[in-house]
Structure 1
Amino acid sequence: MKKKKFPILMSLVLATGTLLSACGQGATPDPAPAAPETTGGGDAATEETTDFSVKMVTDVGGVDDKSFNESAWEGLQQFEADFGAEVGYLQSGDAADYQPNLNRLVREGNDLVFAIGFLMGDDVKAVAEQQADARLAIVDMVVTDDAGNFLDNVANITFSEHEGSFLVGVIAGLTTKTNKVGFLGGVEGFLIKKFENGFKAGVKAVNPDAEIIVQYAESFNDAARGQQISGTIYAQGADIIYHAAGGTGNGLFTEAKERKRAGEDVWAIGVDKDQHAEGLPENVTLTSMIKRVDQAVYLVSERTMNGDFPGGQIVEFGLEQEGVGIAPTTENVSAEALQKVEEYKGKILSGEIKVPMNDEEYAAFINQ
């Protein structure tokens, strides 16, 4: 078979034990019609083909959110290009579409169905319990039954977002000129709190006197709201804002570019993908915290195709597996900051630093 094109070969860490995970409810945007199932093609012919089929359901951010969902879809398209598998997606206009879309893809007989995003946790649980023959995988969530047991037909994909966020926090803390930075969150909950607290810890590790302004949009799909909040944070004196807000975060780049054109020296930090291009032509993207959703979707698909579906398990992608980190585009990051990133990366990997995931751990981190 054709070799994988991904530049990083990650190991999969299977965590054991029971994990109780919180699932927040997002704000519901105006309904949009669900897109028809779509298949994508690779840019090269495959050496072999397979009758394996894998599809995904997007969250409300949509497949072209320039972030989380788009990265997942790129992973499936690469999987199609490498193995000749049938791939596709259903787009969710609002949260009410999640369960019908998942059910549809399962009933169609697809070999693996991905739910992209923690907001689908309850829907995945319902579908998995109703359709025992389904093979489901959810990104950013651990799904259990009412007794807290893993479901054998659900693979749970998680990331150490707090570790990657710590590293971009280091960059922000060393780059700010106003000594104020901001965090724009999507829907407040356990997952996005990992981004927030990891980022704040990274800032404080290198700049204890920095002020961090935090605000949530309570939506992953409201760019206008994202721009409004970003404007408020910049107006309070922050010169760098990190977002973990999906499509809502697109508004951050709009606001940063407008301010840059007006002569302000401001920066945006992207998330999930290298969002350098989102800051052009004004060049406002300082860096991005990359989260290899594309690679996770690809590798879990490959394992399943090869008869090793990780149902009832947690498949974790962290700093050690190169599942999170800083973006390869570093033209706007100082040599000093890049050196510090490597220094702190080593401390995290060695266990010298435990990056906080929640408010309590963050409080303990800065008071140690």
Structure 2
Amino acid sequence: MLGGLGAPARAAGPLNVGVLIPGSKSDKGWMESGYDGMKAAEKNLGTKVAVKFIENVKFGDMEQVLVTLAGKNELVIGIGGQTQASVFKVAPRFPKVKFAIIGGNADPKKPDNVSGYDVRQAEIAFVAGASAAMLSKTGGVSYVGGLEIPAIKNAGIEFGKGAKYINPNIKYFESYTGDFDDVAKAKEATLAAIAQGADIHYHILNLGLRGMEQAAREKGTHIIGSYTDRCGTDPLYVAYSITGVGFQVEYAMEQVAAGTWKPEFKPFGLAMGPKSSDMVICKATPEQKAKIEEIKKDLLSGKIKVLDA
């Protein structure tokens, strides 16, 4: 537990929480995972919280939306590292409001009333790459990212490393669409990888995932999903990396409700347990399960080293 003895007591009444969801809460990805975590925290905390959320917020509008949320809430959560710059601008204007960034990175400019939670996407992407190599029948795997920023780029690098850890000769295709929500570009990138021999695809996309799905369905290939274990819901998906976006939303709300929240940068990842980070092959063989567990253990011990972001 963080904080603890001596934490100031909250005023009576529910904890008012405002949540900024830059994309769609039904994107089968990062945003939906965050929304699911918000709903889970609402259920767990019951009358102790009152939550409002705003979705589909463009980057240029984030600052104003955060100002609106900060004026009415004790805790404001930005779901996604793309909210960090705007949170850093707005937070100093509301020193009594607590802010949490899901997917934030370490930054010495962080205001004193902001916490940043790092999902460690690169770490679990390594395990996803290893899983993709184990699942591939063609000896080719691919990754499509949205914005070509360090966290997304590093996940792509580690996905490729994970695939080569299993099969040094595997063909790996990596591309970026420049937009997490561009369906057409994601489909184009996936089709290009399929044409070169990829049959298992991984992503860090939001609504752009629809394009990857279209390409995979048309060509009979498969996807490793991100963020939440949804095995059995869609045969297109053969595995899922669990990247605890929703878990971190729950964490922020529960910490503030308990009076144990503190402004910090906190890496999550495998070290925080399977709700925080994990890898699931939907119809895994005993050998595949054992290999995943071995890789996770080696990542935690430092025997396998990956990029931090």
TM-score (norm 1): 0.76
The structure 2 residue matched to 1:233, chosen from 193, 206, 210, is 193
State the number of aligned residues: 297
Give the aligned partner of residue 28 of structure 2: 66
* Structure 2 residue aligned with 1:326: 279
Gaps of at least 5 residues in structure 1 are: 1-10, 13-48, 261-265, 359-368
- Give deviations 1:109-164, integer Å, cap 9, x for gaps: x11010111111211111012222221111112374xxx34321101111221221
1:18 corresponding residue in structure 2: none
Q: Look up the equivalent residue of 1:325 and give its one-letter code.
A: D
Which residue number in structure 2 is paired with residue 42 of structure 1?
A: none
Residues 98 and 277 of structure 1: CA distance in aligned 2, closer, same or farther (over 3 Å): farther
Change (3 A) 1:227 1:276: farther
| 1:162 aligned partner | 122
1:104 aligns with 2:68: yes
Deviations 1:282-319 (A, max 9, x none): x12121111111111111111111222221x1122111
Contact 2:177 2:186 in 1 (8 A): yes
Task: Give the structure 2 partner of residue 81 of structure 1.
Answer: 43
- Aligned letter for 2:95? A
Separation of aligned partners in 2, 1:184 and 1:277: 23
Query: Which residue, out of 247, 251, 261, partners 1:309?
Result: 261
The one-letter amino acid paired with 1:166 is: F
| Residue pair 1:170, 1:337 contacting (<8 A) in 2 also | no
Alignment of 1:200-219 (within 5 A): 200-219=160-179
**Any idea what the Cα deviations from partners look like across 1:300-340, whole Å, max 9, x if unmatched?**
111111222221x112211121211113x622x33322221
Give SS of 2:271's match.
coil
Aligned partner of 1:142 in structure 2 is 105
Counterpart of 1:57 in structure 2 is 20
The amino acid that maps onto 2:277 is V
**Residue of structure 2 equivalent to 1:224:** 184
- Residue 237 of structure 2 is matched in structure 1 by 285
Residues in 1 aligned to 2:106 and 2:75: alpha-carbon distance in whole angstroms? 16
Is residue 355 of structure 1 aligned with residue 298 of structure 2? no
**Residue 275 of structure 1: how far off its partner (Å):** 4.5
Q: Output the amino acid matched with 2:137.
A: K
Tell me which of 225, 248, 251 is aligned to 2:208. 248
Shift of 1:93: 3.8
- 1 CA distance for matches of 2:164 and 2:250? 35
Q: Which ranges of structure 2 fall in alignment gaps of 5 or more residues?
A: 3-11
CA RMSD of aligned residues (A): 2.1
Match of 1:191 in 2: 151
Alpha-carbon distance, 1:168 to partner = 1.4
Task: State the Cα distance separating 1:76 from its structure 2 match.
Answer: 1.5
Q: CA deviation at 1:186?
A: 0.9
SS of alignment partner, residue 51 of structure 2: strand
Q: Secondary structure at the match of 2:143?
A: strand
| 2-structure distance, mates of 1:321, 1:93 | 30
With over 3 angstroms needed to count, the CA separation of the structure-2 counterparts of 1:315 and 1:356, relative to structure 1, is: closer
Matched with 2:227 is 272
TM-aligned CA distance change 1:309 to 1:122, over 3 Å? same
Letter in 1 for 2:145: G
Match of 1:127 in 2: 90
SS at match of 2:174: strand
In structure 1, distance between residues paired with 2:200 and 2:254: 39
Is 2:117–2:266's contact at 8 Å kept on the other side of the alignment? yes
Structure 2 letter corresponding to 1:65: D
